[in-house]
Amino acid sequence: MSTKVLARVTRSAADLLMIVSAIGLLLMTLIVGWQVFGRFVLNSSPSWSEQSALTLMIWFVFLAGAAGVREGFHIRIIAVENALPKPRRKLLRIASNVVVGLCGLAMLWWGGELVVRTWSHVIPSIGLPRGMAYLGIPIAGALIALFSLERILDDPEDAFIAPELEEAV
């Protein structure tokens, strides 16, 4: 698979992740709003609302985090990177993406283990397996690893140079 095809696929995946995450955030906001209305106006908070909101939050946080890796929104300090000569700068970016990719693989592995170990436990208030709530973790981990691989393969020579340092380089 060429890097252009991979970039097209991952861009579409990241866009879809952001849409799904936005819908999850919207649904969670509506559920929490209903919970507050039920508690303070009706004096009867719905039993399913808190666990539903928490489950949605796990999903949309991890999926949006994976999209953030694809878009390069993860936290990093570029001052050291910009102070290095071009060949070392590229090595530092590759090393950074390798570390992020390894974290994604760890999420895939241990998140998958968490899903398997908790699948038989049911969340009483919503009737879903507890593993379903955690399934977003290994999915996001796999996507983080894929997005990191793309960033390693498609790393242009002059990527991420701060504009004010561009003249000095």
Tens of pLDDT, residue by residue over 99-124, are 999 999 999 999 999 999 999 999 99
What local confidence, expressed as pLDDT, does residue 52 receive? Answer: 95
- Collapsing DSSP to helix, strand or coil, 76 comes out as coil
Among 3, 53, 13, residue whose Cα is nearest residue 153: 3
The band of 157, judged by pLDDT with boundaries at 50, 70 and 90, is low
Q: Collect all residues with Cβ–Cβ distance below 8 Å to 43 and sequence separation of at least 6.
A: none
The pLDDT of 138-164, averaged and rounded, is: 78
Angle between helices 49-71 and 3-40 (to 10 degrees): 150
pTM: 0.84
Residue (of 6, 169, 4) closest to 90 by Cα position? 169
Amino acid making up residue 69: V
- Report the C-alpha gap between 50 and 31 in whole angstroms: 8
Residue 70 CB-half CA count within 13 A: 26
128 forms beta bridges with 123
- Residue 155 has a pLDDT of 67
Q: What is the mean pLDDT of residues 70-78?
A: 76
> What pLDDT is recorded for position 136?
96
Q: Report the Cα 66 to chain-centroid distance in Å.
A: 3
The answer to whether residues 164 and 82 touch, using CB atoms and an 8 Å cutoff, is: no
Determine the Cα–Cα distance for residues 67 and 92; give it in Å rounded to an integer. Answer: 22
Average pLDDT across the chain, whole number: 88
